[in-house]
Amino acid sequence: MIVNYPDTVPLTGPFRIPLMLLNICLVIASLNVALIHVKKHVTLRDSIKGTRVHAAWASLFLGYALMISCYFIGMLYTSTLDQRYKFLQVGYVCGATGGFFYIYYIEQLAYITRRRTFTLIFGTLYVVLVCMFFTALIVDLGNIVQLFMTSFWIPNLGFMIVYLYKINKLSIGKLRRMVSLVVTGFCLLILGVLGSTDAVQRPLGLGVRLLADACQVGGVIMVGWYSSKLPSWKELEWETALDSLYIVYKGGVLAYEYEFNEASHNTGQPRAAAAVSALEAVRLLLDQVVDSGQLKIIDFKKKKLFFDIGDYITVIMVANEQLDTLDFLIRKIRKEIEKAFAGMLPTWDGTSASFAPATRIINRILS
């Protein structure tokens, strides 16, 4: 016989085993993702910012795994609604704790909002939740705590939208595609959480709950996998690593110079002399790069020199860090410039002013 879950417990009938297996998979997947980020937090100490990002994701998934575990016990192994609500309340506190530390760690990086608005809102709700939790141990609050949890969706969704938007804006190339996959995973996860609520199960039945849990499993796997592949903080701060860029015409003629930290950019003359020593120092290496037709990166006076070679020009980018993002960036700049100057490059007369429009192209790529 199928009981009228969630109004009676425990859950029995044909949905019991499938939901049990899905919830076990959900807990295992969440714990696995949390452990991946804990390992990165402990071992990959490249920067304080980087470790905070991993600590944030670890907190989120650990809290989520504990929350689902409490839901699981309340659904399958309690005999009264009061017992079920107690486990649900413990689960709410676990999930909210993970969510709070996630928002706290991310907002410490000061690129979501500098005033930590989401931490303040979520923290206030969290304090109220904890107070309600301890009150419920003394006084029967029924499903009041359960209803109160809906208020957490406001800061949660707001934060996720702003956070993923900022990450997407800072990322370029394949990193932006990874962000899109994380967004898709979060959508699945949110739909799954909403579908597993009592408010949805009562009118639509346990078939929807089964589908919702499956969505949560898929969402956790997608978010967990691709969140671990998201760019490090250094990759997101790629603009601060940029120093200057040079376009060298075949034969070694300096045609254009771009200073990333200056408003004005030169087409040969004012700062060309400052670049001569660097260009001369790498001229022999540049010849080898041109011959091989491959991108190379070399160290020069505490700088990283990126090369990308085309049919008529070689783009040299001087940076302070060796980042994967800059590999994509220099190739994109070179291709866009070759496309824009396709008619002029084969017969370039050596006039640096001819490359003046390159400033507009680079600014557009960087924007």
* Structural domain ending residue among the three candidates 167, 200, 234: 234
Residue 270 predicted with pLDDT over 60: no
* Structural domain ending residue among the three candidates 234, 266, 282: 234
Assess whether 196 and 219 both reside in one domain. yes
Domain residues for the domain of 296 are 238-366
CA distances from 59 to 147, 182, 257 (A): 24, 17, 46
Residue 213 predicted with pLDDT over 90: yes
Max CA pair span of the chain: 88
Q: What is the pTM of this model?
A: 0.69
Helix (H/G/I), strand (E/B), else coil: 12: coil
Assess whether 267 and 362 both reside in one domain. yes
Note whether residue 308 is domain-resident.
yes
Note whether residue 9 is domain-resident.
no
Assess whether 331 and 220 both reside in one domain. no
Tokens 């950019």 sit on residue: 265
Assess whether 61 and 201 both reside in one domain. yes
Residue 87 predicted with pLDDT over 60: yes
The CATH number of the domain where 317 resides is what?
3.30.450.70
Residue 269 predicted with pLDDT over 50: no
What percent of the chain stands above pLDDT 90? 26
Q: Which of 23, 28, 25 is nearest to 73 (CA)?
A: 23
d(CA 275, CA 265): 13
Assess whether 179 and 51 both reside in one domain. yes
* Structural domain ending residue among the three candidates 188, 217, 234: 234
CB 36 within 8 A of CB 55: no
Assess whether 279 and 222 both reside in one domain. no
Assess whether 76 and 176 both reside in one domain. yes
Note whether residue 192 is domain-resident.
yes
Assess whether 205 and 334 both reside in one domain. no
Each residue of 14-59: pLDDT tens digit?
899 999 999 999 999 999 999 988 888 887 665 556 677 888 889 9
The CATH number of the domain where 147 resides is what?
1.20.1070
Tokens 């084969």 sit on residue: 346
Assess whether 250 and 205 both reside in one domain. no
CA distances from 340 to 216, 309, 343 (A): 47, 16, 8
Assess whether 36 and 153 both reside in one domain. yes
Q: How many domains is the chain built from?
A: 2
